[in-house]
Amino acid sequence: MPELPEVETIKRGLEKSVVGKTISDFDCDWKKMINKPLTEYRKVIKGLKIEGMRRRAKMLIIDLQKDWHLLVHLKMTGQLVYASKIKCVVGGHRIAEGYQCLPNKFTHATITFSDNSRLFFNDIRKFGWMRLYTGLEVQKELENMKLGPEPLASEFTLEYLHTVMKKRPNNKIKQFLMDSKVVVGVGNIYSDEVCFYAKVKPMRKVKSLKENEIKLIYKAIRTILEASIKAQGTTFSDFRNADGEAGGYSAKLKAYGRYGEPCKVCKSEIKRWKMGGRSSSYCPKCQK
């Protein structure tokens, strides 16, 4: 599942290619992916120009003329590929079939632009979606999700973190960090990394945190997500040398997925803790 830094990378990569382009056609072969009949999509978006692209949590918002918007979620296995005669921009889940042949059997929606370049939505498991809304509808939809602040936005302050922690004293730290109502974008990977950075075990309760640990958690969330957004720049590449490699941050991971391996700091064996269907990796010595 692409996490926040990856979706931000997709946004940055795609906006350079598609903003300013006019949509000449839309196609979709998977009804559940869209929220209106295909004929209505076509009627509404044909002829509209893409005015901008935004990200909220792990969703992309493609802003069209006349206050229409496409709200896009790649979910587990979604991938967006922009292809023109001269370039190919790929973001999201890696699909082994490659991009040489587009559309392919995983392509479920295609936006064609007036210059004949296209934006493909490929999805192996078909959980992703691309919903068409008016400005008011998209705003309502986002409000209903009751999402917490963006981790790198100015609303996400240390004071805010204190306030939400007081409301959830008995949450386990890992569960607390991964709750999108607390802060968006800290998924399974980054919650492990934040705990490692802050030197706290993921299974501890929020109320057990000392002041300096809370400060470190706050700092970790911002530092790690910022670094990861920078590193994920490598997910995007040119058609000729592209193979959709994983973002550059994977080599920097200190805890996530390293169960059984030696800690990069103290050499102790990284342990695993299971919470619900998820597992966490942590260093039993570095993390208190």
SS3 124: coil
Catalytic residue (choose from 168, 204, 215, 278): 278
Please, which residue, 119 or 270, has the CB nearer to Zn ion? 270
| Pick 145 or 265: Cβ nearer Zn ion | 265
Q: Cα-flanking dihedrals φ and ψ of residue 194, to 5°?
A: -65, -45
* Helices 4-18 and 211-231, axial angle in degrees (round to 10): 40
| CB 188, min distance to Zn ion, A | 20
Strand partners, 92: 79
Alpha-carbon dihedral angle through residues 39, 113, 12, 51, given to the nearest 10 degrees:
-70
Catalytic residue selected from 3, 6, 150, 193? 3
Give 230 or 285: the residue with its C-beta nearer to Zn ion: 285
- Active site (annotated) includes residue 58: yes
Interface positions with Zn ion (CB under 5 A): 263, 265-266, 268, 283, 285-286
Q: Are 271 and 288 in contact (CB under 8 A)?
A: no
Residue 94 falls in the annotated catalytic set: no
Q: In angstroms, give the least distance from the CB of 265 to Zn ion.
A: 4
- Residue 3 annotated as catalytic: yes
What 240-249 contacts at long range (C-beta under 8 Å, 24+ apart), as own/partner pairs, is 242/88, 242/90, 242/99, 243/98, 244/90, 244/94, 244/95, 244/98, 244/99, 246/94, 247/5, 247/6, 247/9, 249/5
Closest approach of Zn ion to the CB of residue 187, in Å: 22
Q: How far apart are CB 281 and Zn ion at their closest, in Å?
A: 11
> Which of 11, 21, 55, 58 is flagged as catalytic?
58
Residue 114 or 268 with smaller CB distance to Zn ion = 268
Cite the active site residues. Answer: 2-3, 58, 278
